[in-house]
Structure 1
Amino acid sequence: MILVFGDSNSHGTPAIRRRGDVARFPEGTPWPDVMADLLGGRVIVEGQPGRTTVHDDPVEGAHKNGLTVLPALLESHRPVEMVLIMLGTNDCKARFGLRGWDIAAGIGRLAEVILASNAGPAGAPPDVMLIAPVPIEEAGVLAEMYQGGPARSRAIAPALRAEAKRLGCGFLDAGRHASVDPVDGIHLTAEAHAALGRAAAEAVRNRRG
């Protein structure tokens, strides 16, 4: 079984045109569903809109902190063969003031929690794949919230690649396969979800050997 630990782009949120929109693509469209269809196995998706890596959100709430909830999710879903982490987009919000390296380090902290757990088969830790999120743009109703975010988001992938190597995790750069919807500069189109799902399935197959 694979566990996808992510944010709104794993949840399947389409581009937001008005603040407060809570729409979701239909089942089968989000990239984890596409990946699951190609792999033919069970995929559990824990994608929470607004989720950060390791930070309480002073505006949206402390429950957005991925580090806080991760141990409980590992216990509730074990045994898990592999955990795919795709986070970092929400860390690019201007209010956090983070650099790409800081964001990658937060993702690495999540990976360390997984690798120290007994949530895998036979009480071993699950394997981990780190997915650098698709680079963002300042656009639409979210532009001010993510002011300066494009540069931060583009710095995540190289730093996260180094984190994956340090920790012995798999790595996938989502930005090589998909781009954001220009409507809001943050979320993926249905076509981007399909492309990312195919790339993730191939990466998992390669990781499994």
Structure 2
Amino acid sequence: MKTILCYGDSLTWGYDAASLGRHALENRWPSVLGAELGGDIQVIAEGLNGRTTAFDDHLAGADRNGARVLPTILTSHAPLDLIIIMLGANDMKPWVHGNPVAAKQGIQRLIDIVRGHDYPFDWPAPQILIVAPPAVTRTDNAEFKEMFAGGDDASKRLAPQYSALADEVGCGFFDAGTVAVTTPLDGVHLDAENTRRIGQALAPLVRVMLSL
């Protein structure tokens, strides 16, 4: 069995801006990816609303710092064949840092953790696929408009930063913005169709990476 860990934020968790709840399990992109791959593949969804790459945000009860909790998650789900990391949208919040270069550095930190982790039983580190999230877009939602002020421009620069980093360190890369757009309801999240598109688009790349 091949095991894939999808490590992300609310886009991976499946936040639905229309219902202010959660998309049906079958519509979340990790579930769609698993259905597309079929066979003897386990796809684990590890999404947390508000998660950043490697920065603190204390506005919720859960630890949103992706770098701090990743080692525990890696051990919990080992052995892993592939980890798909789609983070960076929440880094665009002004009080986090709002800088795509800092988000790239956060992704670099996550890569270092995955490759340097002390896996049980001397299991090898998984392959890594970095996914740039769809860019934040303009919205009339007053709260999200302020929450991600400037994020629409800054987030457009995430994909080039992530792509260059992936080439430099030898990771897979995919720009989710090529197949999905955020909903105008809040400018950040995905409707059911767009989150499904990400899972569908990732499947061919994952097949290549895992020689399926």
The normalised TM-score by structure 2 is: 0.91
Name the SS of the counterpart of 2:197 in structure 1: helix
Say what the alpha-carbon RMSD is for the aligned residues: 1.7
Identity of aligned residues (%): 38
Aligned equivalent of 1:207, options 202, 209, 212? 209
Which segments of 5 or more consecutive residues in structure 1 lack a partner in the other structure?
A: none
1:59-101 deviation digits (Å, cap 9, x = unpaired): 3367110111000000010000000000001000121233211
Q: Residues 198 and 121 (structure 1 numbering): CA distance in 2 closer, same or farther, change over 3 Å?
A: farther
Query: 1:28 matched to which residue of 2?
Result: 26
Name the SS of the counterpart of 1:171 in structure 2: strand
CA-CA distance at 1:138 after TM superposition: 3.3
CA-CA distance at 1:208 after TM superposition: 2.4
Which segments of 5 or more consecutive residues in structure 2 lack a partner in the other structure?
A: none
Distance 1:143 1:44 in 2: 32
Aligned equivalent of 1:153, options 140, 155, 161? 155
* Equivalent residues in 2 for 1:90-129, closer than 5 Å: 90-119=90-119, 123-129=123-129
Contact 1:81 1:120 in 2 (8 A): no
Aligned length: 205
**1:186 equivalent in alignment to 2:194:** no
Q: Residues 71 and 148 (structure 1 numbering): CA distance in 2 closer, same or farther, change over 3 Å?
A: same
* Equivalent residues in 2 for 1:1-209, closer than 5 Å: 1-15=3-17, 21=20, 23-40=21-38, 41-60=41-60, 63-119=63-119, 123-139=123-139, 140=141, 141-209=143-211
The runs of 4+ residues in structure 1 deviating greater than 2 Å are: 58-62, 117-122
Distance 1:197 1:6 in 2: 13
